[in-house]
């Protein structure tokens, strides 16, 4: 599955392919994507893998769970299409997804 990471800082975009079944966060960590800190390793308890999903892809990512909603509420850079990358699973429906990494993680 292809994912494109854009940056609010204006840094060049990063495009990578990850295996189906991994999360966007796991793929980003494996490839060393700048700005995805993922301090809790995917447990949805830290909020350091915050991404802003391009609006055309947002509804395809599935619903936010209550814990994710709370964590995103703490982010000063939260937008209406914000998600935690650890909660977005790579699947054929998301092939080509574009996300933006905020300037800072929590």
pLDDT per position as a tens digit, 8-30: 999 999 999 999 999 999 999 99
Give the phi and the psi of residue 46 in degrees, each rounded to 5: -125, -30
Q: How far apart are CA 49 and CA 60, in angstroms?
A: 18
Give the phi and the psi of residue 58 in degrees, each rounded to 5: -55, -50
What are the tokens at 70? 């709370």
The mean pLDDT of 101-105, rounded to a whole number, is 95
Q: Which fold has domain 2-101?
A: Ubiquitin-like (UB roll) (3.10.20)
pTM of the model: 0.95
Alpha-carbon distances of 75 from 20, 47, 60, 92, 103, rounded to whole Å: 28, 8, 22, 29, 11
Q: Give residue-wise pLDDT tens across range 46-101.
A: 999 999 999 999 999 999 999 999 999 999 999 999 999 999 999 999 999 999 99
Residue 106 has pLDDT above 90, yes or no: no
- DSSP E strand boundaries for 8-76: 14-17, 50-53
What are the tokens at 39? 């301090």
């Amino acid at each position: 599955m292809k994912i494109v990471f854009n940056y609010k800082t204006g840094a060049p975009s990063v495009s990578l392919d990850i295996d189906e079944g991994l999360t966007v966060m796991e793929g980003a960590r494996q490839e060393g994507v700048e700005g995805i800190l993922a301090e809790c390793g995917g447990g949805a308890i830290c909020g350091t893998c915050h991404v802003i999903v391009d609006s055309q892809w947002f509804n395809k990512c599935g619903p936010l769970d209550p814990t994710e909603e709370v964590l995103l509420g703490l982010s000063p850079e939260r937008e209406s299409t914000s998600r935690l990358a650890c909660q977005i699973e790579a699947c054929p429906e998301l092939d080509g997804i574009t996300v933006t990494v905020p300037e800072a993680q929590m």
